[in-house]
Each structure stands twice: as structure tokens, then as C-alpha cells.
Amino acid sequence: MSIGKKIKIARREAKLTQEELAQMTRMSRSHIAAIEIDAYNPSLLTLQRIAEVLRIPTSTLVEDRNSSEEFSLTDEQIKLLMKFKELNHDSQQKLFGYLDALLEINTPPPINNC
């Protein structure tokens, strides 16, 4: 199910109109309408604002229950992604190096079955 459809369903379950959701998220009604019909791909910040108003986890909007592999993000993981996007390219590359080093430290050595 698309993000827009999930938002529309959650908005209706919350008994809110597009106009009410727009006011509560400080967006225009036309922006909400465009998101709901998938004419616009909202940023993570926009999704967080909508999810907060609708009182649902942001991950509910972004996870794909129809995929063969279960993939979902917690709100904390989404915040980390948003912070990552704010970094310049060089800083992102440094962070990747740091993460690789952390993963290497936390990975047990392979078992030798000789």
C-alpha cells in the first residue's frame, strides 16, 4: 500500500478532514491532498509531522508489509536517517567508515571447522 493511501486511511480513522490535518501539521490542504494521491513524495520530516498528528508511528507509513522481506524502521532509526541526510558527502563517508569499524569490532571471529 502506498504512503499516500496509508495517510488517507489513518486520517479518516482519526476522523480528520484534509483541511484539519493540514492546519495541525502547518501544511496546505492541497499539499496533503497531493501526498494522499501519491502525486508528491513527502520527506521524512513531513511524514514525522503527519504521523505525530495522527498518533501513529512513522514506521507505519514507510514500511511495506507486502514485500517478501520484512523491513521496518523505528522512529529513532528514522531520526538517524534524517540526521545522516543533513551531513555533507565527506562526513557521510567518514560515518560509513566508523560504522564499518564498529561492526568489525562487534562481529565474532569465524569458527574454524578443520
Q: Which pLDDT does position 77 carry in this prediction? A: 80
Q: What is the mean pLDDT of residues 48-55?
A: 94
Residue 78: which residues within 8 A CB-CB, separation 6 or more?
A: 44, 47, 48, 58, 59, 62
DSSP 8-class letter at 55: T
- Whichever domain contains 14, its CATH number is 1.10.260.40
Instruction: Note whether residue 114 is domain-resident.
Output: no
Average predicted confidence (pLDDT) for the chain: 85
Do residues 50 and 6 make contact, with C-beta atoms less than 8 angstroms apart? Answer: no
Instruction: Note whether residue 4 is domain-resident.
Output: yes
Q: Which pLDDT does position 55 carry in this prediction? A: 93
The 10s digit of each residue's pLDDT in 56-82 is 998 888 876 654 345 566 778 878 888
Q: What is the mean pLDDT of residues 21-26?
A: 96
Q: Which pLDDT does position 29 carry in this prediction? A: 95
Asked if the model's pLDDT at residue 46 lies above 90, the reply is yes
Instruction: Note whether residue 70 is domain-resident.
Output: yes
Domain count, the chain: 1
Expressed as residue numbers, the domain containing 82 is: 1-108
Q: How many CA atoms lie within 13 A of 65 on its CB side?
A: 7
